[in-house]
Structure 1
Amino acid sequence: MFTDKAMTQRERFINTMEYKAVDRIPNYEVGVWGQTIDRWEKEGLNIYDLHWDWFTGEEFFDMDAREFINLNYGMIPPFEAEIIEKTDRYEIIRHENGVVTKALIEGTAHGTRASMDQYLKFPVENIDDFRELKKRYVANMRRRYPPQWEKIMLPRWKSRDHVLVLGRNCSTLGFYWRAREWMGTENLCYAWYDQPELMHEMMEFIADFTIEVSRPILEKTDVDYVFINEDMAMKSGPLLSPKTYKEFIYPHMRRLVDYFKSHGVRYVGVDTDGNCEALIPLLMDAGVDFIWPMERAADMDPIKLRKKFGRSLRLWGGIDKRILAKTKADIEEHLMSLLPLIEEGGFIPTVDHLVPPDVPLENFMYYMKRKIDLLSGRF
């Protein structure tokens, strides 16, 4: 599994995904809560010595670099953001995506709320609302792409030694995610049954739009992977049944994955929290190569998933964030349990979400030190 030959970061990534020998497995992480930053500063960390963009790769923790092509898959123009009401405790906000929420002010740190917002209103209630909203999703607009990307970035992409990703995290939004953002979770749950015409039109549009925004980039360069962000599961299972997924989403998911892979995308992954196990066969059949983050609180055990789905499904994540708040012995035992996957390959361990503020800096530093040992075959 491990070799003494030094590798570029891209070679390391591809060999890990292909179950080939590596000098070490890539060191990736997600990030932290804003409240975690405040805690770690009190515990002695110079927070200005870090970038806090862990997807790109935090040098302080010797993370591997990734470059994300900053495509805008969102609304152009967005809704005008406004504060509708504000008190000492909360504020009601219309966000740029048209969603109205009530947000607790107390405990906010570095842009992170201490609790989830209460969702009050969404921009789509029926098919007429959706057809009006589509006017904000015109694909062929220069503003969707980095300025001067063909002159400045493209030559670097073609000769790269690092991993290149299509879209920033949570920009290449998938079918469930966009529908939920437009309608809200509860309304969406009803809409599959009460408004099937709307849902079929919505799913088709999402695939078409994503393909058309991606096309100018993929006609010029290949990329190493794309994440399709979904978050379509909860602790006990998916938020829609496999039958519903197969009827409404699967045909367009397969079409989207086929397009990506036929236009230079090496791997396609799905990002979903919760327990998505019941949907994995459909994802794999659609051509998905890996899932992330395998949330442990939802019983997404990477060892179990590998046994069930085999090597065709690569696995990312699977580090239980709750363990990091316990003892160093607990962290050691948790990492030790992942050795079989490390030795087999096709697995990139990361914390299964943002690191919460109950994790001491000392614990996280120990985790990162021992994780690098694990990634390097020295555990």
Structure 2
Amino acid sequence: MTNRERVTHALRFEPVDRVPYQIDFTHNMRAAMQAYTGQADFDRDIDQAIESEYLIKPEVEVGPELFRDEFGVIWNKSGVDKDIGVIDNILLPDPEALDSFELPPVDEAYLRSRMEALMARRGNRFTIAAIGFSLFERAWTLCGMENLLCYMALEPAFVHALMERIVERNLRIIDIALDYDIDCFHFGDDWGQQKGLIMGPTHWREFIKPYLKRMYDRVHAHGKFVSQHSCGDIRPVMDDLDELGLDMYQTFQPEIYGLDYAKVLRGRIAIWGGISTQTQLPFLSPEGVSDAVRALIDAFDGTGLVAAPTHSVPGDVPPQNIIALIDALKRYSVR
């Protein structure tokens, strides 16, 4: 089997010859591994299952460790997090500001150049086009997290109007990506916290679910899989996601769900993740990491799983544990 076939079979809960796996790294962790191994391409022998492309224009540096994204949001990366950062400005300070605010136009030529690059490097991997900060996250980066949560209760018409604009723009991007031979479209959007949803299931169903349905339906109409990222505990709406036809959920945090939750999802929603960057990789011994990988693969009984860290591996993970992770994935993935 090729990796493309492995992931496709896993998403259909069909037998695979080997559990597909994927390891992504933050900038800090990649630099640490390069220093530890003495090799710039230390990850060249990881048989990565997935090739992906996030369809957003690159940020522009506008000051020391300050970066502006294509929406006009300024990201401050002067802290520990050098990959995402924290927002430094509010573009929609009140609901009335939406009347004069325009989302950036979709740069079709640029997006097609990125899709063509994705097609050129895909090899035999499962290929994903993606929108990060796809809905809830895009909204709160524009008006502020606390503000958005208050608006859900006090200004629901504003929230719906903002979500409508965001989803219409997303659909244009999705349509461009679907012109290419991708396998899946992935949406990044954090809804969960360590226990439960940030906005609660009632507001999720009002302000998130209807717009997800439109995007999922567009992808499914072209015969492609849908993948959804959310950190945290989203069990209160997992049945809703199943109803919407979600094919793969990223990321499955074992400290939140427990490996027994695999039985709840089996035959319904496949998982991408399962190896914790919160409680396992930074703190376990290399032997403990190996045991965690084996337990994850055993819990899913060999299918319905893309084994992976629950996030791009952060810089606080000992390099020895990365070596153990790679070795364990190679060893235990074969069924």
Relative to structure 1, the CA distance from residue 144 to residue 161 in structure 2 (aligned partners, 3 Å threshold; closer, same or farther) is closer
Letter in 2 for 1:71: L
Residue pairs, 1:180-259, within 5 angstroms: 180-218=140-178, 220-259=179-218
Q: Residue 361 of structure 1 is aligned with which of 315, 319, 324?
A: 319
Q: SS of the residue aligned with 1:284?
A: helix
Query: For the residues of structure 1 that align with 2:114 and 2:288, how far apart are their CA atoms?
Result: 47
Letter in 2 for 1:99: V
Letter in 1 for 2:201: P
Q: Residue 22 of structure 1 is aligned with which of 5, 16, 35?
A: 16
Q: Residue 55 of structure 2 is aligned with which of 65, 71, 88?
A: 71
Contact 2:216 2:246 in 1 (8 A): yes
Letter in 2 for 1:162: R
Q: CA offsets, 1:249-281, max 9 Å, x none?
A: 21221121111100232x111111111111212
The answer as to 2:148 corresponding to 1:164 is no
Q: Residue 341 of structure 1 is aligned with which of 299, 313, 320?
A: 299
Relative to structure 1, the CA distance from residue 239 to residue 37 in structure 2 (aligned partners, 3 Å threshold; closer, same or farther) is same
Q: SS of the residue aligned with 1:270?
A: strand
Give unmatched runs, 5+ long, in structure 1: 1-6, 51-57
Report what 2:44 is aligned to. Answer: 59
Query: For the residues of structure 2 that align with 1:327 and 1:94, how far apart are their CA atoms?
Result: 37
Contact 1:275 1:300 in 2 (8 A): yes
Query: For the residues of structure 1 that align with 2:105 and 2:291, how far apart are their CA atoms?
Result: 51
The answer as to 2:68 corresponding to 1:95 is yes
Relative to structure 1, the CA distance from residue 15 to residue 188 in structure 2 (aligned partners, 3 Å threshold; closer, same or farther) is same
Q: Which has the larger radius of gyration?
A: 1
Under a length normalisation based on structure 1, what TM-score does the superposition of the two structures give?
Answer: 0.77
Report what 1:130 is aligned to. Answer: 98
Deviation at 1:228, TM superposition (A): 0.8
The answer as to 2:220 corresponding to 1:261 is yes
Query: For the residues of structure 1 that align with 2:114 and 2:242, how far apart are their CA atoms?
Result: 35
Under a length normalisation based on structure 2, what TM-score does the superposition of the two structures give?
Answer: 0.86
Letter in 1 for 2:262: R
The answer as to 2:255 corresponding to 1:288 is no
Letter in 1 for 2:110: R
Query: For the residues of structure 2 that align with 1:336 and 1:142, how far apart are their CA atoms?
Result: 44
Contact 1:317 1:350 in 2 (8 A): yes
Report what 2:38 is aligned to. Answer: 46
Q: Residue 145 of structure 1 is aligned with which of 112, 127, 145?
A: 112
Query: For the residues of structure 1 that align with 2:192 and 2:110, how far apart are their CA atoms?
Result: 33
Q: CA offsets, 1:305-364, max 9 Å, x none?
A: 223344211111010233233223322332232243342410111111232333322222
Moved over 6 A (4+): none
Query: For the residues of structure 2 that align with 1:334 and 1:140, how far apart are their CA atoms?
Result: 43
Contact 1:33 1:355 in 2 (8 A): no
Deviation at 1:283, TM superposition (A): 1.7
Letter in 1 for 2:292: H
Relative to structure 1, the CA distance from residue 223 to residue 200 in structure 2 (aligned partners, 3 Å threshold; closer, same or farther) is same
Contact 1:81 1:95 in 2 (8 A): yes
Deviation at 1:125, TM superposition (A): 2.2
Q: Residue 315 of structure 1 is aligned with which of 236, 261, 271?
A: 271
Query: For the residues of structure 1 that align with 2:287 and 2:111, how far apart are their CA atoms?
Result: 48
Letter in 1 for 2:252: M
Letter in 2 for 1:49: D
Give RMSD over aligned pairs: 3.0
Contact 2:194 2:232 in 1 (8 A): yes
Identity %: 18
Deviation at 1:142, TM superposition (A): 2.8
Report what 2:332 is aligned to. Answer: 374
Q: SS of the residue aligned with 2:249?
A: strand
Query: For the residues of structure 2 that align with 1:366 and 1:153, how far apart are their CA atoms?
Result: 29
Report what 2:262 is aligned to. Answer: 306
Q: CA offsets, 1:136-157, max 9 Å, x none?
A: 43347433321794xx887x69
